[in-house]
């Protein structure tokens, strides 16, 4: 893309998320329009959006029902005085989200972004313990390779290399364990690897003193670690450990929520109900910032009292529960439920996984992971040695965009999560683009023609 002087100057006046502007200016990409599974840049070039922006547009860009709901709400009210009351539509949203959340997760606090929801969940947990006779419980255990957001506590709970070290020291009271993949090479058996990783959490709780541990925060499927997909048993073990030591289990479903894993939430896919669930991204289909924290209904009792007790949740954000955002959120949930899109994603996910598995023929794919339409592919130099292949990922970053494909590449793995509405022919189209981009990347890196290998 050729940039005019004005746009180039403007790009130098801002910064892109996690990206070097100087590098971006070599291959800039400025979007103008999006619809369904596609985005268009300012030159009119079309891109297949294999990740719904960034795991956001779960219904496809510009879903008409969501936009209509927002238009109708816009005519009524776009902001309600938060220190005096709450918008009626926000109550509707609380009811709607509670109706699709697992178990007795019914206590809903809406927010404007994933980081707000994870940050608030940790504040909520600490205040909860202070008001239920366990004031010493303040520590959080989370996982290396995880990402929970950009704010203080969310960043401290995150365990992703330089995204975290640049801002260290982290807040005190944040401890990390490894997700199951880290131990993989030490266990021949994947189930055993998961059991070991789950039990490591108990070891940390005991070593730290259970009376000081407030919560365990995990992404059910870890995106930044490369779509790390533990077994259902892994979560069952963690659930039992949390119950044993009165530690809250917090699921960060900012990516996995809203149908991608084949159920509304990954908690339902894995059959384990957390005490607090954080969600964002797909919740508004990207039409407007929205997120939410959903806690066990009975936990709310700890925040119930007379004004002089001062036990109310000491927390708020100006745009939390914004009427336009809540109208969008209701429409998203209605679309997913009425069109049975989570079930559709489960079915299409199997088709997608089989297509991605077929990439193993090029000898650089170790594993295809994920659930539903959220899938990740790990790239290796040789599946037998399992040596990572970041050079290939770096090349794939370029060849995917050159082929009109928006893909998440990191660079030892890549991930896809097309809209829940994607049909077989859409997945065929996306996978053909992925294959072409991968072959070109392989040829660019190896300097030879990519060959289909015998298996
Ligand atoms: C798992 C997870 N949690 C939290 C966040 C933070 O969300 P946001 O960027 O909306 O603040 C993200 C963002 O990518 C995420 O992937």
pLDDT in tens, 15-36: 999 999 999 999 999 999 999 9
The predicted structure's pLDDT at residue 163: 81
Report how far ligand 1's centroid is from the alpha carbon of 149 (Å): 5
Contact residues for 152 (Cβ-Cβ < 8 A; gap 6+): 119, 171
Report how far ligand 1's centroid is from the alpha carbon of 110 (Å): 15
67 compared with 167, residue with greater pLDDT: 67
The helix/strand/coil state of 408 is: strand
76 is written with which tokens?
């009524």
Contact residues for 46 (Cβ-Cβ < 8 A; gap 6+): 38, 39, 40, 404
Atom index in ligand 1 nearest the CA of residue 113 equals: 10
User: What is the reported pTM?
Assistant: 0.97
Contact residues for 206 (Cβ-Cβ < 8 A; gap 6+): 245
* pLDDT band at residue 155 using 50, 70 and 90 as cut-offs: very high
Atom index in ligand 1 nearest the CA of residue 116 equals: 11
| Ligand 1 neighbourhood includes 159 CB (under 6 angstroms) | no
Report how far ligand 1's centroid is from the alpha carbon of 147 (Å): 7
User: Pairing relation of β-strands 291-296 and 405-406?
Assistant: unpaired
Closest CA to 408 of 51, 56, 21: 51
Atom index in ligand 1 nearest the CA of residue 280 equals: 10
Closest CA to 97 of 251, 317, 258, 221: 258
The predicted structure's pLDDT at residue 301: 95
| Ligand 1 neighbourhood includes 149 CB (under 6 angstroms) | yes
pLDDT at 256 over 70: yes
434 within 8 A of 396, measured Cβ to Cβ = no
Report how far ligand 1's centroid is from the alpha carbon of 306 (Å): 35
| Ligand 1 neighbourhood includes 289 CB (under 6 angstroms) | no
The predicted structure's pLDDT at residue 311: 97
Using CA atoms of 343, 271, 213, 162 in order, give the dihedral in degrees to the nearest 10: -40
Write the pLDDT tens digit of every residue in 361-395: 999 999 999 999 999 999 999 988 889 999 999 99
* pLDDT band at residue 248 using 50, 70 and 90 as cut-offs: very high
Distances (CA, A) of 249 to 199, 228, 241, 410: 14, 18, 9, 28
Write the pLDDT tens digit of every residue in 99-115: 999 999 999 999 999 99
pLDDT at 419 over 80: yes
| Ligand 1 neighbourhood includes 115 CB (under 6 angstroms) | yes
| Ligand 1 neighbourhood includes 160 CB (under 6 angstroms) | no
Atom index in ligand 1 nearest the CA of residue 54 equals: 14
State the chain's mean pLDDT as an integer. Answer: 96
Largest separation between any pair of C-alpha atoms in the chain:
74
* pLDDT band at residue 1 using 50, 70 and 90 as cut-offs: confident
* pLDDT band at residue 422 using 50, 70 and 90 as cut-offs: very high
Report how far ligand 1's centroid is from the alpha carbon of 150 (Å): 8
| Ligand 1 neighbourhood includes 274 CB (under 6 angstroms) | no
Hey, whose CA ends up nearest to atom 8 of ligand 1?
114
pLDDT at 413 over 80: yes
Hey, whose CA ends up nearest to atom 3 of ligand 1?
148
| Ligand 1 neighbourhood includes 393 CB (under 6 angstroms) | no
pLDDT at 309 over 90: yes
CA distance 371 to 102: 18
The predicted structure's pLDDT at residue 454: 59
80 within 8 A of 270, measured Cβ to Cβ = no
Write the pLDDT tens digit of every residue in 56-81: 999 999 999 999 999 999 999 999 99
pLDDT at 455 over 90: no
| Ligand 1 neighbourhood includes 253 CB (under 6 angstroms) | no
Atom index in ligand 1 nearest the CA of residue 224 equals: 16
- CA–chain centroid gap for 240, Å, is 24
337 is written with which tokens?
């439920």
Tell me the best of 254, 286, 290 to mutate to test the pocket of ligand 1, counting ligand atoms within 8 Å of each CB and taking the most.
254
110 within 8 A of 325, measured Cβ to Cβ = yes
What percent of the chain has a predicted confidence (pLDDT) above 90? 93
pLDDT at 327 over 90: yes
| Ligand 1 neighbourhood includes 254 CB (under 6 angstroms) | yes
Report how far ligand 1's centroid is from the alpha carbon of 55 (Å): 10
Write the pLDDT tens digit of every residue in 115-151: 999 999 999 999 999 999 999 999 999 999 999 999 9
| Ligand 1 neighbourhood includes 252 CB (under 6 angstroms) | yes
| Ligand 1 neighbourhood includes 415 CB (under 6 angstroms) | no
CA distance 324 to 330: 10
Q: What is the average per-residue pLDDT within 188-194? A: 95
């Amino acid at each position: 893309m050729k940039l005019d002087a004005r746009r180039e100057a403007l790009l130098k006046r801002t910064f892109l998320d996690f990206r070097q502007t100087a590098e971006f200016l070599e291959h800039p990409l400025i979007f103008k329009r999006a619809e369904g599974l596609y985005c268009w840049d300012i030159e009119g070039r079309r891109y297949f959006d294999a990740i719904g922006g960034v795991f956001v547009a779960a219904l496809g860009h510009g879903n008409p029902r969501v936009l209509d709901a927002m238009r109708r709400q816009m005519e009524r009210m776009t902001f309600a005085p938060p220190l005096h009351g709450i918008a009626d539509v926000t109550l509707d949203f609380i009811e709607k989200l509670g109706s699709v959340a697992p178990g007795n997760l019914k206590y809903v606090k809406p927010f404007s972004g994933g980081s707000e929801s994870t940050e608030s969940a940790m504040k909520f947990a600490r205040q909860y313990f202070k008001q239920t006779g366990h004031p010493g419980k303040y520590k959080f255990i989370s996982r290396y390779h995880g990402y929970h957001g950009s704010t203080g506590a969310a960043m401290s709970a995150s365990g992703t290399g330089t995204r975290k070290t640049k801002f260290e020291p982290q807040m005190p009271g944040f401890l990390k364990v490894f997700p199951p993949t880290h131990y993989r090479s030490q266990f021949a058996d994947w189930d055993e690897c998961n059991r070991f990783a789950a039990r490591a959490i108990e070891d940390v709780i005991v070593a730290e003193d259970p009376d000081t541990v407030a919560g365990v925060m995990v992404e059910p499927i870890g995106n930044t670690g490369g779509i790390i997909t533990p077994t259902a048993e892994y979560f069952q073990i963690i659930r039992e450990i949390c119950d044993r030591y009165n530690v809250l289990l917090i699921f960060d479903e900012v990516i996995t929520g809203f149908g991608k894993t084949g159920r509304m939430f990954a908690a339902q896919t894995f059959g384990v109900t957390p005490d607090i669930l954080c969600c964002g991204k797909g919740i508004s289909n990207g039409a407007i910032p929205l997120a939410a924290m959903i806690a066990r209904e009975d936990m709310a009792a700890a925040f119930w009292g007379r004004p002089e007790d001062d036990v109310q949740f000491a927390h708020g954000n100006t745009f939390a529960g914004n009427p336009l955002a809540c109208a969008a959120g209701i429409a998203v949930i209605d679309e997913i439920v009425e069109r049975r899109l989570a079930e559709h994603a489960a079915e299409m996910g199997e088709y997608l996984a089989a297509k991605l598995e077929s990439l193993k023929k090029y000898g650089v794919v170790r594993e295809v992971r994920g659930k539903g339409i959220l899938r990740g592919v790990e790239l290796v130099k040789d599946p037998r040695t399992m040596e990572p292949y970041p050079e290939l990922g770096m090349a794939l970053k370029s060849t995917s965009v050159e082929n009109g494909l928006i893909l998440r590449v990191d660079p030892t793995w890549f991930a896809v999560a097309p809209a829940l509405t994607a049909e077989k022919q859409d997945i065929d189209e996306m996978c053909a683009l992925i294959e072409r981009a991968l072959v070109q990347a392989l040829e660019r890196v190896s300097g030879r023609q990519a060959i289909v290998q015998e298996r």
